[in-house]
């Protein structure tokens, strides 16, 4: 596994790099024999250190986590422990995922490539003494695209999609439902549960 350990305006010593390498290898190695790459970034915000972990283990699965603490070591340990707990939660499914080559559950589907954009937030409409500021907002303001990239939309079962969203700590995930081929969306609700949007399911019900 290729490992990158970096610090944002922060020196990362050899002892911390070794601690990161040993612990990630132990945690990830229990479930994946050939993880592709891992990136760990340490940063400091006021009096807290933050550790961001991202591990690409292949077959479309990304592990992501972050945590803050008063020192870099406990920040990393807490973030790594989150990944370890999620992997234990999905232990059986991950084992089935490994055995899926050629099976119905894990049959290979070429991911659909879609454009993904990041839109800059709209500026605030400020008023000074009852007059508009220099910012001019028309009736149909157009957001500015600040980033454009390509993202893969995979064909998954709903449970596989939930697992991937949870492992990668994503707020939402779009996928093709393996049951009928239609586009679906799952997302993390404010109450902690997962919402599931299935337009094809509505059509199929005759509603």
- Least confident range from 65-69, 109-113, 115-119, 180-184: namely 109-113
More confident residue, 6 or 104: 6
Whether residue 113 has pLDDT greater than 80? no
Of 94, 69, 91, the closest CA to residue 80 belongs to 69
Overall pTM surpassing 0.95 (yes/no):
no
* Residues 6 or more apart whose Cβ sits within 8 Å of residue 60: 111, 152, 154, 164
Q: Are 79 and 45 in contact (CB under 8 A)?
A: no
Roughly what angle, to the nearest 10 degrees, separates helices 158-167 and 72-89? 170
How far, in Å, CA of 79 to CA of 67, rounded? Answer: 5
Beta strands 48-58; 61-69: pairing state: antiparallel
Cβ atoms of 60 and 164 within 8 Å: the answer is yes
Give percent of the chain with pLDDT exceeding 90.
56
pLDDT for the residue numbered 32: 87
DSSP code of residue 9: S
Q: Which CATH class is domain 112-204?
A: alpha beta
pLDDT at 136: 47
CATH 3.30.505.50 residue ranges in the chain? 112-204
Strand 155-156's sheet: what is its strand order? Answer: 155-156, 172-177, 183-188, 194-197
Q: E-assigned strands of the chain?
A: 2-7, 37-45, 48-58, 61-69, 112-119, 127-128, 131-132, 145-153, 155-156, 172-177, 183-188, 194-197
Mean predicted confidence (pLDDT) in 114-118: 71
φ and ψ at 41, to 5 degrees? -120, 125
Residue 3 makes CB contacts below 8 A (sequence gap 6+) with 20, 21, 24, 37, 38, 39, 40
Q: What is the dihedral of CA 13, 16, 18, 19, to 10 degrees?
A: 170
Chain region(s) in the chain for CATH 3.30.160.100: 2-89
Could you give the CA distance from residue 150 to residue 82 in angstroms, rounded to a whole number?
28
CATH number, domain 2-89, options 3.40.50.920, 3.40.50.10860, 3.30.160.100, 3.20.10.10: 3.30.160.100
Q: Fill in the DSSP letter of residue 160.
A: H
């Amino acid at each position: 596994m290729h490992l990158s350990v970096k610090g944002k305006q922060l020196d990362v010593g050899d002892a911390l790099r070794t601690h990161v390498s040993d612990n990630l290898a132990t945690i990830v190695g229990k479930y994946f024999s050939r993880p592709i790459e891992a990136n760990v970034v340490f940063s400091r915000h006021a009096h807290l250190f933050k550790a961001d972990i991202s591990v690409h283990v292949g077959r479309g699965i990304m592990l992501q986590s972050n945590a803050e603490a008063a020192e870099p070591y406990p920040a990393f340990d807490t973030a790594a422990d989150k990944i370890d707990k999620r992997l234990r939660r999905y232990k059986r499914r991950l084992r089935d995922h490994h055995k899926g080559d050629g099976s119905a559950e894990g049959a290979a589907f070429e991911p659909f490539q879609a454009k993904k954009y990041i839109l800059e937030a709209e500026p605030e409409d400020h008023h000074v003494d009852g007059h508009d500021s220099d910012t001019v907002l028309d009736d149909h303001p157009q957001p500015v695209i600040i980033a454009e990239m390509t993202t893969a939309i995979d064909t998954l079962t709903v449970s596989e999609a939930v697992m991937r969203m949870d492992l990668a700590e994503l707020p939402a995930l779009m996928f093709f439902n393996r049951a009928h081929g239609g586009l679906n969306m799952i997302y993390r609700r404010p109450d902690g549960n997962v919402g599931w949007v299935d337009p094809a399911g509505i059509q199929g019900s005759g509603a």
